[in-house]
């Protein structure tokens, strides 16, 4: 079959939650995909519907090039005006229009104008829709001009409120108004194919006051500050009450739900100002003030700026009545979660039904005598060990896969082949697919402890056959990293080395008894490549290596879902086993420095991965290094 750049294609949900397959590589977009579709003409296709207390449910159409349409409507120049702007694949019936409108009309006399650019947004071609935000903003700006000239209303009374792509359309309208509008609110501004250097991205100077509310930052929403004030409810990446929310759609939509409630709530979303965006990402906020998120009126004129975190309830009403009973706790992927003051506990989901680790784990042995055809070692059957090619005098290396995978996946075979190319090793692939292959991530996540405990018992059987934990490594990827940690715990930290390859982040928190930790082996090394999305962003080893900053990886393109960056951890480790060029890393003073991209060298350099490991070399702390964007990755 012909080769395709499959890593350029990603599933992205539109604002209705429907998954769309799109090409997200802005440097490799076929001409037919990047062209704006000719059927969308903003001057005629963007529809403005006015709602007031006199017509709260049935909109009156206003025309940007027809002043009489304004003069003959229920528009009142002295009343505040609020525009609402939907995102990709949205339109007249988008949820944010009705929700925000109803809350405004519940508290006073407003001109609420729903901007319907569905003729340009309702397309399977995300790139075409993304490229229309500037032209939509232009028509909104013209509509503002018509309102001002036809009625005498003031720009100081006008807010633009946009969700996702609509946030950038609002920003473009503000730009064309030379920043004269009172307020622009960006509700989880769209992230895919936007960068800070783009001329059509929402920006702080687009209005007298700009505010962004981030609820799915780094997936569907933009990840970096875009406004005067930037609010990150529950850490800004995932939202309580959304469950696993793999597509991010629930969290993405939460932005307009929170804003709508803020308009009419008597409680308010009181937020804490943090010293930096890096603190928000790391979940370590140094309080430097307070402000309300959203609200009516906005924060314009109150000197509100910077980065803020705020906790919410998991369901409507989202504003918290009594914040003293709840607080934000960062889980091990760096996301802030709203939890009770009781210790963090997982949902009461059972372990995978019928998963009995002692029976279901499969241990496949590979040696130089059988490099590709495994011998199965059976739990509780010493004869299967003695009758195999297992040599207790040779070093033993366990490889452990992650969620929805098995013992035959690429991570296992790649690392196995590397070891057997350089020496005599017992390489044992641990297949716990009976527990890992499950659409219920929570159930698979809850199986890491039992799987690790069973592996620890199997290690005892190898020791009884003459092997030593002195020359054993346990190497796990994603959820498998936590299985490795639990095996180390079951061995009371006697295993020589535990390697945690981008340990899974979702539903793992600091201090949880079944998360990989520094005490799980004599030496525990973590390699972080997608911290904060699929992987943990909190150091979990004695040493933690953060290639290219540990969050995204060069050569992965847009990588919306994080799968490419996540998979780089085992790729880097496999290469480190045989490479004559080391992955040389600089020790930083703290993880915070890595997050902020400002590493102060604070000790001897060290190599990431490698054979043998760093055990006994005094390697501890957080390390930064860069890699090439394709194999070979090591740069020395």
Most confident of 10-19, 284-293, 414-423: 414-423
Lay out the sheet containing 396-400: strands in order across.
Answer: 370-377, 362-367, 426-431, 396-400, 472-477, 497-501, 523-527, 543-547, 621-625, 584-588, 606-607
Share of the chain above pLDDT 70, in %: 88
Q: Which one has a higher pLDDT value, 444 or 454?
A: 454
**Looking at the predicted structure, is the pLDDT value of residue 71 above 80?**
yes
62-71, 324-333, 467-476, 585-594, range with the lowest pLDDT: 324-333
Closest CA to 9 of 124, 123, 120, 88: 124
pLDDT of 63 above 90: yes
- Measured in whole angstroms, the distance separating CA 426 from the mean position of its chain's CA atoms is 37
3-state helix/strand/coil string of 161-195: EEECHHHHHHHHHHHHCCCCCCEEEEECCECCCCC
Residue 321's pLDDT band (cuts 50, 70, 90): low
Q: Per-residue DSSP letters for 584-618? A: EEEEES-HHHHHTT-----S--EESS-SS-STTTT
Are the CB atoms for 493 and 468 separated by under 8 Å?
no
pLDDT at 31 over 90: no
Contact yes or no for 91/116 (Cβ under 8 A)? yes
Residue 324 pLDDT more than 80? no
- Determine the pLDDT at residue 563: 82
Nearest to 447 by CA among 316, 358, 547: 358
pLDDT value at 135 more than 80 = yes
Distances (CA, A) of 461 to 397, 428, 573: 15, 14, 27
Kindly state the tokens that stand for 559. 């990588």
SS3 366: strand
Residue 36 scores a pLDDT above 50: no
CA–CA separation, 76 vs 109, rounded Å? 9
Q: Is the pLDDT of residue 599 over 50?
A: yes
What's residue 333's pLDDT?
35
CA-based nearest residue to 364, from 319, 331, 407 = 407
Mean pLDDT of 427-447: 87
Q: What SS3 class is residue 156?
A: helix
Task: Identify the structural domains of the chain with CATH numbers, from first to last.
Answer: 36-310 (3.40.50.1820), 330-334+358-625 (3.40.50.1820)
Instruction: Return d(Cα 509, Cα 331) in angstroms, integer.
Output: 4
- Give the residue carrying structure tokens 């972080």: 528
The string of pLDDT tens digits covering residues 213-231 is: 999 998 889 989 999 999 9
Question: Average pLDDT in the 357-380 region?
Answer: 97
Peptide bond before 428: cis, by omega within 30 degrees of 0? no
Tell me how crowded residue 632 is: count the other CB atoms within 10 A of its CB.
12
The better pLDDT of the pair 350, 321 is held by 321
pLDDT on residue 327: 39
Please tell me the predicted confidence (pLDDT) of residue 79. 98
Residues 262-279 have pLDDT tens digits of 999 888 899 999 999 998
Is-contact 558 130, C-beta < 8 A?
no
Mean pLDDT of 62-81: 98
Comparing 193-197, 517-521, 617-621, the range with the smallest average pLDDT is 193-197
- DSSP annotation string for 540-556: -SSEEEEETTSS--TT-
Q: Is the pLDDT of residue 207 over 80?
A: yes
User: Chain centroid to CA 111: how far?
Assistant: 36
Three-state SS at 116: strand
431: β partners: 362
Strand partners, 585: 606
Kindly list the distances between the CA atom of residue 560 and the CA atoms of 191, 223, 238, 552, in Å, as whole numbers in the listed order: 9, 11, 15, 10
User: 489 pLDDT exceeds 70?
Assistant: yes
Q: What is the CA radius of gyration of the chain?
A: 27
Average pLDDT, the chain: 89
Residue 441 pLDDT > 80: no
The yes-or-no verdict on residue 12 having pLDDT over 80 is no
Amino acid 567: pLDDT:
92
Residue 79 burial (10 A CB sphere; 0-12, 13-18, 19+)? middle
SS3 state of residue 498: strand
Here the tokens at position 1 are 């079959």
Residue 559: the pLDDT is: 78
Sequence-distant (6+) residues with CB within 8 A of 253 are: 15, 95
pLDDT more than 90, % of the chain? 74
- Distance CA(620)–CA(490), nearest Å, equals 23
Q: Which residue reads 């080893």 in tokens?
A: 541
pTM of the model: 0.54
Confidence band (pLDDT; 50, 70, 90) for 21? Answer: low
Q: 73-118 pLDDT, tens per residue?
A: 999 999 999 999 999 999 999 989 999 999 999 999 999 999 999 9
Instruction: Please name every residue paired with 621 in a beta bridge, in sequence order, or none if there are none.
Output: 543
How far apart CA 157 and CA 261 sit, in angstroms, is: 20
Beta bridge partners of 336: 330
Tell me the sheet residues that pair with 498. 474, 524
547 band by pLDDT with thresholds 50, 70 and 90: very high
Q: Residue 459 in contact with residue 435, Cβ under 8 Å?
A: no
Partner residues linked to 51 by β-bridges: 112
Tens digits of residue pLDDT in 396-432: 999 999 988 898 888 999 999 999 999 999 999 999 9
CA distance 10 to 336: 26
**Residue 30 pLDDT grade (very low, low, confident, very high; cuts 50, 70, 90):** very low
CA atoms of 331 and 511, how far apart (whole Å):
10
Contact 520, 489 (CB under 8 A): yes
Query: Which residues form the catalytic set?
Result: 164, 188, 252
Mean pLDDT within 123-131: 90
Given a cut of 60, is residue 612 above it in pLDDT? yes
Place of tokens 């039992």: 450
Tokens of 296: 């009516």
């Amino acid at each position: 079959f012909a080769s395709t750049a499959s890593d350029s294609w990603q599933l992205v949900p539109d604002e209705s939650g429907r998954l769309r397959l799109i090409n997200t590589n802005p440097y490799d977009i076929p001409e037919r995909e990047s062209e704006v579709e000719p059927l969308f003409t903003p001057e005629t296709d963007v529809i403005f519907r006015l709602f007031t207390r006199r017509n709260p449910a049935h909109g009156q159409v206003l025309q940007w090039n027809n002043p009489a349409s304004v003069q003959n409507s229920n528009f009142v120049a002295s009343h505040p005006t609020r525009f609402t702007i939907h995102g990709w694949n949205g339109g007249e019936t988008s949820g944010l229009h009705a929700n925000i409108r109803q809350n405004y009309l519940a508290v006073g006399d407003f001109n609420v104008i729903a901007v319907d650019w569905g003729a340009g947004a309702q397309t399977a071609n995300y790139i075409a829709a993304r490229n229309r935000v500037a032209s939509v903003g232009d028509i909104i700006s013209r509509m503002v001009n018509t309102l001002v000239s036809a009625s005498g209303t003031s720009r100081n009374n006008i807010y633009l409120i946009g969700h996702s792509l609509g946030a950038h359309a609002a920003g473009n309208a503000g730009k064309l108004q030379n920043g004269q509008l009172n307020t622009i609110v960006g509700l989880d501004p769209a992230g895919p194919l936007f960068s800070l250097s783009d001329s059509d991205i929402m920006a702080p100077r687009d209005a007298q006051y700009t505010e962004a509310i981030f609820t799915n930052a780094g997936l569907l929403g933009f990840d970096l500050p875009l406004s005067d004030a930037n609010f990150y409810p529950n850490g800004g990446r995932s939202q309580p009450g959304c469950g696993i929310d793999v597509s991010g759609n629930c969290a993405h939509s939460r932005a307009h739900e929170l804003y709508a409630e803020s308009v009419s709530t008597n409680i308010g979303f009181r937020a804490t100002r943090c010293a930096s965006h890096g603190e928000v990402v790391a979940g370590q906020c140094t309080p430097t003030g307070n402000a309300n998120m959203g609200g009516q009126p906005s924060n314009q004129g109150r000197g509100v700026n910077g980065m803020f975190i705020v906790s919410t309830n998991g369901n409507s009403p989202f504003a918290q009545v009594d914040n003293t009973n709840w607080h934000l706790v960062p889980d091990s992927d760096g996301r802030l979660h709203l939890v009770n003051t009781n210790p963090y506990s997982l949902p009461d989901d059972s372990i995978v039904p019928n998963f009995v680790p002692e029976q279901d784990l499969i241990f496949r042995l590979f040696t130089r005598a059988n490099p590709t055809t495994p011998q199965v070692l059976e739990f509780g059957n010493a004869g299967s060990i003695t009758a195999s090619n297992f040599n207790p005098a040779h070093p033993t290396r366990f490889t452990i896969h992650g969620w929805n995978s098995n013992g035959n996946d690429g991570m296992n075979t790649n690392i196995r082949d590397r070891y057997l190319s350089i020496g005599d090793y017992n390489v044992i692939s641990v297949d716990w697919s009976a527990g890992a292959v499950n659409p219920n991530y929570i159930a698979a996540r809850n199986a890491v402890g039992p799987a690790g405990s069973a592996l620890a018992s199997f290690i005892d059987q190898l020791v009884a056959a003459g092997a030593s934990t002195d020359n054993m490594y346990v190497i796990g990827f994603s959820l498998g990293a936590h299985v490795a940690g639990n095996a180390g715990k079951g061995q009371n930290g006697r295993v020589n080395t535990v390697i945690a390859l981008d340990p899974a982040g979702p539903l793992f928190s600091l201090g949880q008894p079944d998360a990989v930790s520094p005490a799980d082996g004599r030496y525990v090394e973590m390699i972080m490549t997608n911290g904060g999305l699929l992987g943990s962003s909190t150091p979990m080893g004695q040493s933690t290596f953060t290639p290219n900053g540990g969050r995204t990886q060069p050569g992965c393109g847009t990588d919306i879902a994080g799968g490419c960056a996540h998979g780089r951890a085992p790729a880097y480790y496999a290469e480190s086993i045989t490479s004559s060029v080391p992955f040389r890393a600089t020790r930083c003073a703290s993880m915070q420095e890595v997050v902020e991209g400002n590493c102060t060298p604070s000790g001897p350099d060290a190599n990431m991965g490698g054979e043998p490991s760093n055990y006994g070399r005094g390697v501890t702390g957080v390390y930064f290094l860069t890699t090439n964007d394709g194999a070979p990755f090591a740069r020395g």
